[in-house]
Structure 1
């Protein structure tokens, strides 16, 4: 555990880098909303309206199957980052995933705010924020660790010190990924059983005439 803490401290500059990259993605995603055509805006409005009616009338699936579906998707994301960190050529892929995650969050929040003003912001706070308060730090830590290990692999190839030189860092890297996977399960619990309840509270305020 002490070694894991030391590794995390050493990677602080990488955390800052991936955090900035994620924030750039968020801004880019929000800007995309403003670039939508009128037809696209209308389609988006119709989709959101139907979604809010469905949430208000029927709620969201809170079954164990829904939990494992949500958890599985996030675990695949973190697993892909882990795999990319094992490859010398996987570094650009890690950066792309971080940027895309930011774009998704920025676009989602931007759509809600552009369509529903402060009601949309409130819905974003209860639907997007809760589980992402766990998922985003997990993503940033996993990405920084993957980048650090990928850079270590590059140095080991250049210096010809592969094998034992990366054995202990690999163990620490994998142990950290498993720890983050446990955190993802916690976020999935929140998204499956807590977030839908809060969404049900806010959804009626977004339905015209409700």
Structure 2
């Protein structure tokens, strides 16, 4: 029963904010494309540095010297500030453009990472990207889109009601509900953090063991 209510509420939210979801998704896709093409125009020196970094990372994974706790902490540091910034921007009347820029940057990071891995490893990079990059992003991307739309919706509602009282009369209740929604998304993203920190290194370890050195 509770599950059905949640699905219905989510469907209503998507329908009521359809174009915001489309715009957020387009921004992430745009970022992915920009990230992919940026690798093609990198200089040889920059590529060499990144290749050496990934070589050392893959060697550490292959030898079993993995600090899972440190990876988990770093993953939290990389993602939680973004959620907090988007939450804050939703409380302002000018947050929408910045939220969309954040979506583009998130997409850029994903596109750059996948493109560089494939560019550096060839066909083996496809497997590393599929098994080491995409799984957690299957969780991250919907969460980022959802909180982006949530924040833009909140910001636009404040902007529409500027100077009025119809929406701001119970503003603190709305802020509480808005904040709780963000907290729930953070809980969902913890699943992604756990995958990225504990599951992904194990998958990469199997891939590396199966193909030997992942760089030619």
> Normalised by the size of structure 2, how large is the TM-score?
0.86
Q: Alpha carbons of 1:20 and 1:177: their partners in 2 closer, same or farther (altered >3 Å)?
A: same
CA distance in 1, matches of 2:105, 2:99: 10
Q: Which residue of 2 aligns with 1:33?
A: 39
Give the direction of change, closer, same or farther, for the CA distance of 1:208–1:27 in structure 2 (3 Å limit): closer
More displaced 10-residue stretch of structure 1: 74-83 or 29-38: 74-83
Output the CA distance in 1 between the equivalents of 2:215 and 2:179: 52
User: How many Å separate the matches in 1 of 2:60 and 2:87?
Assistant: 37
Deviation per CA, 1:16-36, whole angstroms, max 9, x where unpaired? 110111000000000000001
Residue 16 of structure 2 is matched in structure 1 by 10
Q: 1:152–1:166: 8 Å Cα contact kept in structure 2?
A: no
Q: How far apart, CA to CA, are the structure 2 residues paired with 1:209 and 1:38?
A: 16
> What is the CA RMSD across the aligned residues, in angstroms?
2.3
- Inter-partner Cα distance in structure 2 for 1:40 and 1:72: 25
Q: Return the alpha-carbon distance in structure 2 between the equivalents of residues 181 and 81 of structure 1.
A: 12
Q: How many residues align?
A: 209
* Contact kept in structure 2, 1:19 and 1:140, CA below 8 Å: yes
Residue 111 of structure 1 and its aligned partner are, at CA, apart by: 0.4
Per-residue deviation at 1:140? 0.4
Structure 2 CA distance for aligned equivalents of residues 27 and 119 of structure 1:
21
1:23 aligns with 2:23: no
**Contact 2:121 / 2:214 at 8 angstroms: preserved in 1?**
no
SS at match of 2:208: helix
Identify which of 48, 60, 69 aligns with 1:54.
60
Residue ranges of structure 2 left out of the alignment (5+ in a row): none
Pairing 1:43–2:49 present = yes
Question: 1:27, 1:106 within 8 Å by CA — same for their partners in 2?
Answer: yes
**Equivalents in 2 of 1:185, 1:57: separation in Å?**
27
Q: Which runs of 5+ in 1 are unaligned?
A: none
| Greater displacement, 151-160 / 13-22 | 151-160
Equivalents in 2 of 1:11, 1:130: separation in Å?
27
Answer yes or no: is the 8 Å Cα contact 1:33–1:111 preserved in 2: yes
The answer as to whether partners of 1:26 and 1:107 remain within 8 angstroms in 2 is: yes
1:136 to 135, 141, 147: 141
Which of 124, 128, 153 lines up with 1:123 in the alignment? 128
Instruction: Determine which of 183, 187, 194 is the counterpart of 1:189.
Output: 194
Residue correspondence of structure 1 range 34-183 to structure 2 within 5 A: 34-63=40-69, 66-157=71-162, 159=164, 161=166, 163-164=168-169, 166-183=171-188
